[in-house]
Structure formats: C-alpha cells, structure tokens
Structure 1
Amino acid sequence: MIDLIRQQVLPHFGIVSSAKVTPLGNGHINDTFLVRWENGELVLQRINTDVFNTPNALVHNADKIAQHLHKKVAQGEYQLSVVEPVKTLDNALALDLGKQGYWRAINYLPHSHSIEVVTSEHEAESAAKAFGHFSCALSDLDATDLEDVIPQFHYLPGRIKQLKAAAAEDAAGRISECSVWVDFALTQQSLLQELEQASTQLPLRTCHNDTKINNMLYDKRDMSSLAIIDLDTCMKGHLMYDFGDMVRTFTSPEEEDSTNLDKVEVRESIFAAICRGYLAELGDVLTLDEKQSLWLGARVICLMIGVRFLTDHLNGDVYFHVHHENHNLQRAANQFTLYQSLLAQQDKLLAYLK
C-alpha cells in the first residue's frame, strides 16, 4: 500500500515519492495516512467505495461545507479550524485510480490530538460545544444542496430489516453464537413508532452524522477544541442523531469494542456535560420539537449502532474493519449494554434536557 501511494498517488499532488507515509487513526471504513515531506504535510485517504459508492458526492459535500465554514470564519462566526480538501495538480477534489482506489487529500492540522475515551466533564463539554458550534455555523446552509452519500444512513426501520435478513440468511454461520443479541434487538421495535411520529415534526438540517469523540480534534498544547473532522457522512438529516452519537461515544468509560461489559455504562456527569455544551451553542437554533427529540436520538443511535455491528458480524464482516475474530459481535454487545444503561437511567438523564 505504501509503495502504491508513493508511486501512483503522491505525484498527482505534486509530492515527491520519498515522502514519509504512515497510517493515521483507527477509522472503521476508509484507509487513512499521514504524508510528510520536506515542505509540508497532509492527510491522504483511500475512500471505501463499497461503503461510499458515490465518492464524488462525498468530496463535493465536504468542499461545500469547507467553503461555507470559511465564510463564517471571515465573518467572525466560526472559531474552529476548517478541514478542507487539498486538490490535485489538475485542480480536482479527488483522484480515481480505478482498481487502485479512489483517493482524496485534506489539510493536516498541526498540534492536533484526538481521544478515544472521555475522561472528564471538561472534555465532554468542550467537544459537545464544538459539535454544536459546527452545526450552528451550518444552520443557514441549505441541507438539500448536499447529496446523500449513504441514503437512509440513520434509518432504524431499515437497519432492523437488514438485521432480520442477515439473521435469516446466516451467511457466515454465526447465528447460534449471537441469537440472544438478535432477539434483544428485535424486542426494541417500539422505538420505530415513536421515531415515525417524531420525524415528521423535525426540520432537515445539515448534519455531521458521525459525532464520535475522536472526530473532534483537541489542540494538544492546551486541550482546547481545534476542529471537527471526518465530514464523509455530512448530509441532510436530523440533529437528534448528532446528539445521540455524542451520548454513545462520550458517556461510556470503556471503548466501543471493550469486552468489559460490567464497566460499560452511561456516566451521568458526562451526559450532563454533553447537554450543557451542545445546548449552549445550539439552544437558540433548535426548535422545541428538536429539543424534545434529543432523548429519542440518544436511544435510537445506541441501539442502531449495535444493530449495525451485529448485522455486519452475521454477514461475515463486510462493512466495518475488524482486527480479530468476533470483533463486530463484541462491538454490538458493548453498544447494546450501553443502550440498556441509558434506559435504566432515563428519569434522571432526561432532567438534564429539561
């Protein structure tokens, strides 16, 4: 892979083949690298076109968002750094090498630092404020101007249907080891009716759609908020899902693939910090219906990501990168356990949204 990058990819960006190329991050979908040479550095990605089968839409959405945020910076309305495309020598947003991959480059932010597990209320509140600040800055960008890179990405009925199909087909012969979790997921379908009723009342917004804690970069010099990254799934949607993904990835003291299920729980103080930070930035932007939908978003996302991990496990690990046997099953069990913790604390957690 490194030789391919040096010989066939970097020349299109005007970068010498002797540049240092190292893997970056631990994303589930794309292959990401940090490229450093004498005169600069950038982030290079090979887009997974099995997942993002319209990659041109992905890079054009990211470019539109970057341009909009730069305008907000110029107007003094956006205080974070902007992640933006680095174009090829032909002024293209991406490089399509056919079987050798679809590649795009973005600017690298010096002094950036990401975390996998939130360890303090300060980390949670600052990250939630950053994601809220990002959404607030995009609140006047017409969401319908962005293409759907993954149609029905946050659509729980569709995800449940996919799980049922995967369990029935049992393509990888794994149903016997995870039938308990399949049965559990299918008993939660009362959420579907609640979701259907709420969705009709919510405005379409430009959403990040993947507000994991490691998609907010801190400045490692003082641990202040630096930038929102990974704009691959930015498209129209409902902000309750952005809130929900923060709850999913901020509140547990364990990483999302931890097998220490007895330690997986929603930390009340971290949930409260998310609410403070997010609503401080978006409180005047959100409609009443949107504010009331946030708790629903938290429940739906925690359940839905577990369903997606479990479905991929049953299908033979064809979507998410896995690093060992039963990795997706472990992720699913982790997420369902977090979902159960969320339900168990409903009354006291809801108070922070009121």
Structure 2
Amino acid sequence: MENNLELIFSQFNTGCHLLECGRYGSGHIHETYKIETEGSENFNYILQKLNRNIFRDIPSLQSNIERVTSHIRNKLSKTGVSDIDRRTLSLIKTCEGHLWYKEENGDCWRMYKFISDHRSYDIVDTPGKAYQGGRGIGRFQAQLADLPLPQLNETIPFFHDIENRLETFWQTVTNDPAGRVETAKNEINFVKDREEVMKTIKSLGSQGVIPLRITHNDTKFNNILLDSDDNALCVIDLDTVMPGYVHYDFGDAIRTAANSAAEDETDLGLVYMDIEL
C-alpha cells in the first residue's frame, strides 16, 4: 500500500517527495492518510481515498469543496488574516490541474494541506470547548452566507429530509425484514408520538418562514479543529456542505457536543446528554 500511496501522492502538484505515510484520524467514511514530506515547500498533507459508495458524484462533491474553500479564502484574505492555510481547508490539485485523481480501477483520491498545530476532540469535556465548537460553526455559516449562485450540489440526496427518512422508517416497520418490530414497539411508538414535531423544520422551510442557507450538515465536534488554546480554528469534513437549515447544524452539533460518550459507544449506560455542555 505504501508504494501505491507514493505513486498516488506523486500525481498531485506539491513539489515534494513522500517521506512517511500512515492512516490518520477517526473518520468512518473515507480512507485517510497523513503524508509527511521533504522538499522545497516541506508541507505535510492529508490524502484521502473517497468512498464512492456514499458519494457517487465525485465531480459535484469536489466542485462544492472548491467553491466553499475558495470563497472563505477570499474573505479571509480581504480581512488581512495571515494564516489562511490554517483557517480553511486547502485543496491540492493534481499535476494536470484536477481537483481529484482517478485511478484506472476507478478509485478516486483527493489531497489537502495538513493543518498544523491543531487540536481535535471526539468528546467534549468543558463548556468552553462546546462554546468554541458553536462559534466555529456559526462563523463558517456566516462566511458562506453570501456565496454566489449557482446553488451548491446536493452531494447526498435527502440527507436531512425528515419526511423521506420517516417514509423509509415506516416502510421498514411494515416489512419487518429483521423480525424486530415485536421487540421494538416502545421505540417505534416513541417515533410515532413525535412524528409531526420532527417535521416542523421542513414544514417551516417549505412555507418560507425560515430561510434555506448553506449549512455543513455534519457538525460533530471533531469536525471543528481548535488551536493550541482551544479556540475555534477551522471547520473540516466539507463533504456534506450543501443547502439546508441552520437547525440541522445545531441539532447535529448537540448530538456530539452534549454527548457524554463517543458517537459509536456500544455501552449505552455511558451515554447521556450533558445539559451543562
């Protein structure tokens, strides 16, 4: 694999030579590697093999990220920010000028500059960190409030469409493919009792009461990098940035920021909502 990674890395326009590489991070979707280099620039990089089972339209995905990061970079530049490469993701194009590299077998890869001197937390343990996470997401949304048309691509159709999710849920209950309906009646009734409330945001949006904005749509806490003083630095994992409602980002942020355990914790006795956070 290392030899293959070296070949893939060489397809990107860096002016550097791969020195070391290894798996990086706790993400579940893409294969992510940290690349350490030697050369005139001597940057480190994040190289990712994209999950085409989830993101089936790679051109639209990468186009979104290019537009979003370029817009933020321009804004930061106009306000005199000096460390722009730490404040937003920096896509590295291939030697041929493309936003991703496609192997002959169809695998697609992209690369970013590695953001130095950052901290990332899977679990939030202080209100101060929770505040900085919210601050980072709020700033990200504000930076994209004037992103010019055309609208961003929908990278995962119906991602936060509660009506679509409920329709799928009730179809599954009816079909009962795993034979669990009888033992899950309490959970099913829990959903049924709250079904109309869950549709509120979508309904208000359809009525024009709340505006459609550009939202991140995957605001778990480790997607907000903090600096060495635990201040909001940069929002990452931009795969699901697309039109949405700010309530989506708030709700998804609470899912992890106020959670006492990791999102994949199997011991449910450890999982509760910390209201202080």
**Are 1:56 and 2:59 counterparts?**
yes
Q: Does 1:214 align with 2:217?
A: no
Distance 1:178 1:36 in 2: 51
Matched, 1:105 2:129: no
Give the match for residue 72 of structure 1: 75
* Shift in CA distance, 86/193, structure 1 to aligned 2, threshold 3 Å: closer
Structure 1 residue 169, shift from structure 2 partner: 4.9
Once the two structures are TM-superposed, the CA of residue 3 in structure 1 deviates from its matched residue by 3.8
- Report the AA paired with residue 230 of structure 2: M
Superposed displacement of residue 18, structure 1: 5.1
Change (3 A) 1:223 1:195: closer
Change (3 A) 1:18 1:208: closer
- Asked if 1:40 corresponds to 2:43, the answer is yes
Q: For 1:254, give the aligned amino acid.
A: A
Query: Which of the two has greater helix per residue?
Result: 1
Change (3 A) 1:170 1:45: farther
Aligned counterparts of 1:24 and 1:183: Cα–Cα separation in 2: 41
Cα distance in 1 for partners of 2:17, 2:79 equals: 39
Contact 1:143 1:205 in 2 (8 A): no
CA distance in 1, matches of 2:193, 2:254: 22
Q: Which residue of structure 2 lines up, in the alignment, with residue 119 of structure 1?
A: 125
Q: Percent identity?
A: 27
Per-residue CA shift, 1:301-343, capped at 9, x if unaligned?
xxxxxxxxxxxxxxxxxxxxxxxxxxxxxxxxxxxxxxxxxxx
Q: Structure 1: give runs of 5+ residues left out of the alignment.
A: 271-354
| 2:43–2:114 CA contact under 8 A, matched in 1 | no
Q: Check whether the contact 2:50–2:109 (CA below 8 A) recurs between aligned residues.
A: yes
User: Which amino acid letter does the alignment assign opposite residue 233 of structure 2?
Assistant: L
Matched residue SS, 1:236: strand
State the match for 1:20 in structure 2. 20
1:179-230 CA-partner distances (Å, limit 9, x unpaired)? 34455434431224433432222211111111110000112x3222221101
Query: What letter is aligned with 2:49?
Result: R
Q: Distance in 1 between matches of 2:120 and 2:28?
A: 15
Query: 1:175 and 2:180 equivalent?
Result: yes
Partner SS, residue 160 of structure 1: helix
- Residue 11 of structure 2 contacts residue 94 of structure 2 at CA under 8 Å; is this kept in 1? yes
2:138 is aligned to 132
Q: Distance in 2 between matches of 1:61 and 1:196?
A: 23
Gaps (5+ residues) in structure 2?
none
Structure 1 SS opposite 2:233: strand
Q: State the match for 1:326 in structure 2.
A: none
Post-superposition offset of 1:2: 3.7
Amino acid at match of 2:197: L
Equivalent residue in structure 2 for 1:234, among 233, 241, 245: 241
The residue that corresponds to 1:268 in the other structure is: 275
Contact 1:212 1:249 survives alignment (8 Å)? yes
Q: 2:201 aligns with which of 195, 198, 202?
A: 195
In structure 2, the CA distance between the partners of 1:14 and 1:87, relative to structure 1 (3 Å rule), is closer
| TM-superposed deviation, 1:120 | 0.3
- Is residue 155 from structure 1 mapped to residue 155 from structure 2 by the alignment? no
Alpha carbons 1:160, 1:186 under 8 Å: kept: no
Q: How many Å separate the matches in 1 of 2:224 and 2:255?
A: 14
Change (3 A) 1:126 1:185: same
Q: In 2, are the aligned partners of 1:143 and 1:235 still within 8 Å (CA)?
A: no
Runs of 4+ deviating beyond 6 Å: 77-80
Q: Which 10-residue stretch deviates more, 161-170 or 112-121?
A: 161-170
Alpha-carbon separation, structure 2, partners of 1:187 and 1:109: 45
Q: How well do the aligned residues superpose, as a CA RMSD in angstroms?
A: 2.5
Q: Give yes or no for contact 1:143–1:236 (8 Å, CA) kept in 2.
A: no
The reply on whether 1:81 has 2:87 as its aligned counterpart is yes
> How big is each residue's C-alpha offset from its partner over 1:115-156, in whole Å with a ceiling of 9 and x where there is no partner?
011000110011111110111111111464311111221111
Question: Any idea what SS the aligned residue of 1:36 has?
Answer: strand
Taking structure 1 as the reference length, the TM-score comes to 0.69
* Map of 2:30 onto structure 1: 30
CA change 1:269–1:96 in 2 (3 A) is same
Looking at structure 2, the residues matched to 228 and 50 of structure 1 have their Cα atoms a distance apart, in angstroms, of 24
Partners of 1:138 and 1:231 in 2: CA distance: 12
| Aligned-partner residue type, residue 47 of structure 2 | L
